[in-house]
Amino acid sequence: MPVVTLSSDPLLGREIAVKAATALGYDCVDREILKAVADRYDVPETDLHKALDESPSPFGISSNHHARYLAYIEEATLAVLLKDNVVCRGLAAHLYVRGVSHVLKIRILPDPQKLAGEISSGKTSSFEKVSTLLKRRERFRRRWSLDAYRVDETDPSVYDMVISLTRIDPDEAVKTIVETTGYRKFKPMTYSLKCLKDKALASRVRVALIDQFPDARVEADGSSVVVQTKALEREKQKRTEVIKKLAGEFPEVAAVEVQILPDIFRKAAESFR
C-alpha cells in the first residue's frame, strides 16, 4: 500500500493525518517517534524538535548539530516508512523521500480564518494578523527547507496534491486522501520499494559518518554506496580510508565509492595563514 506524507503548518494537519490513517487502517507516525530517537542517540528530545522547527544560528542550534539531528530523524523516519501502511506527518519526510512513486505527498494549506481562532484561543486575533503570521511562517519554512534539504517546501510542485482548507473541509480532505491512495500509480512496485530501501540505507550510512563527516552526502544503489565529502588534498587518502571502513561495516554494503571534493574555503583560509 502507498505511504502518505502530510506537510502542513504545525498547528494543522494532525487531525487530518489521524483520521486518514484510521480510515486507511494505517499507522500514523509523527513527532512522537522523536522520544525514541532521542533515547537511541542520547540527545535531548527538545533539540530534535528544534532541528525540525529552527534553522541553525549562532544563538541557537549549530550547523553541525542541526545536520546531525536531522540525519537521526531521517534515518528513524525512513525505517518506519519501509514498514509500509503509514501516514507520516511533522517529520519533513516530504523533503527526503522524493522520487519514490508509492509515496503520496500531500500539502495542507490552512484556512487563515479558522487558524485565527486556534491561534488566538479566546484572545482577539484579526484575520489580517493571522495572514501576516502565516506568510512569515511560510517564508521561514521556505528558508529552513532550502537550508536543510535544498528543496523549497512551499513549492507546490514538491507535492502530488495540495489541499486548501479554505475551500475543502478537513473531512473532505480525508476522503480525498483515502481515495487517492487507491490509484494504481501509488501502488508499491519493485522499483519504488528499491528507491525507498536505497534511501533508508543511505540514511543509516550517513548517521554512521556524521560525527566525523558532518557534510557527507550519501547515496545508495542496491549494495553500492557513494559518499561525497569535502577535504583538503592532504586529507584525501585518510578520509577515504575512514569512510570506506565505516560504510563497509554495514552488511548490506558491498562497494563504497568516496568522492572527495576540494574544500576551497579551508584551502583559502590556510593560504592566508
Partner 1 sequence: MERPIRLLLLDDEPIVGKRLAPALAKIGVETESFTDPEEALQQVARKDFDIVVTDFRMDKMDGLEVLKRVLQKNPRTKVIIITGYATLEIARQALTIGAFDFIAKPFNPNDLRTIVIKAARALGYQVNEKPVDSSSAHGDSETEL
Nearer residue to partner 1 within complex by CB, 124 or 190: 190
Stretch that binds partner 1, among 70-78, 146-154, 181-189, 235-243 (CB under 8 A): 181-189
Q: Which stretch binds partner 1 (CB under 8 A): 67-75, 95-103, 118-126, 232-240?
A: 95-103
**Under the criterion CB under 8 A, does residue 190 sit at the interface with partner 1?**
yes
Q: Kindly state whether residue 187 participates in binding partner 1, applying the rule CB under 8 A.
A: yes
The answer to the question of residue 191 lying near partner 1 (CB under 8 A) is yes
Give the count of beta carbons closer than 10 Å to the beta carbon of residue 45.
Answer: 14
Q: Which helix (H) or strand (E) holds 246?
A: helix 236-248
| Site size for partner 1 (CB under 8 A) | 13
- The rounded distance, in Å, linking the Cα atoms of 271 and 140 is 36
Binding mask 49-88 for partner 1 (x = CB under 8 A): ----------------------------------------
Nearer to partner 1, 117 or 182 (CB): 182
Residue 99 found at the interface with partner 1 (CB under 8 A): yes
CA angle 45, 92, 223 (to 5 degrees): 95
- Applying CB under 8 A, does 189 fall inside the site for partner 1? yes
Single out the residue of 26, 69, 72, 186 in contact with partner 1 (rule: CB under 8 A).
186
Identify the H or E element spanning 102: none
SS3 247: helix
Q: For residue 118, give the C-alpha cell.
A: 486556534
Q: Report the nearest approach of partner 1 to the CB of residue 223 (Å).
A: 10
Beta bridge partners of 258: 227
Q: Taking the alpha carbons of 153, 40, 256, 211 in that order, is the dihedral positive or negative?
A: positive
Q: Which residue has the cell 522520544?
A: 35
Among 40, 83, 136, 185, binds partner 1 (CB under 8 A): 185
Counting other chains too, the contacts that 57-62 makes at CB distance below 8 Å and 24 or more residues apart are: none
Q: Is 100 in the site for partner 1 (CB under 8 A)?
A: yes
Strands 224-231 and 3-8: unpaired
Place of cell 519504488: 192
Beta bridge partners of 109: 164
194 touches partner 1 (CB under 8 A):
yes
Q: Which stretch binds partner 1 (CB under 8 A): 5-13, 56-64, 133-141, 179-187?
A: 179-187
Q: Which residues bind partner 1 (CB under 8 A)?
A: 99-101, 183-187, 189-192, 194
